[in-house]
Amino acid sequence: MLFIFLFLPFLSVNMRAFGIAQRTSGFSMIFGDAGSFGGFLNLLLPILAVAGLSFTKFAYTKMLVLGVAFMGAYMNLALLLGPRIPMTSVGVGMVLSFIIWVTITAAAFMEYRGINLLNDLVKK
């Protein structure tokens, strides 16, 4: 889902006086003309880290996944609430991305604590 949300609008620039409305997706923030290494770190690195750590078998894998998921949610919240350039607004991709990061963090916490809601619901 997070990869899909990278293609939705992350920022919108509205200049009503000139009739200009421009949107920037997360993908273009990473790889586009204004792309930077900071955009990669904020948007793509936590996704890759959670995906990679989910398949490893280290002793502290669950704690690492929880930490990276929390940092991904925190970085997304900082992007969501951080300082803006005048006349810009948050796009739907950034909001949905934050909601998914909170969900991933909750799932990682439940996995870390050994809580398995699906099995508990199926057994009853």
CA distance 92 to 13: 13
Question: Does 29 or 103 have the greater pLDDT score?
Answer: 103
Can you tell me the distance from the alpha carbon of 37 to that of 30, in angstroms, rounded to the nearest whole number? 7
Tens-digit pLDDT profile for residues 94-116: 888 889 999 989 988 888 888 77
Question: CA–CA separation, 25 vs 16, rounded Å?
Answer: 20
DSSP letter for 36, please.
Answer: -
Name the helix (H) or strand (E) containing 24: strand 20-25
The yes-or-no verdict on residue 75 having pLDDT over 80 is: yes
What pTM, to 2 d.p., does this model score? 0.76
Q: What residues contact residue 112 under an 8 Å CB cut-off, 6+ apart?
A: 62, 63, 65, 66
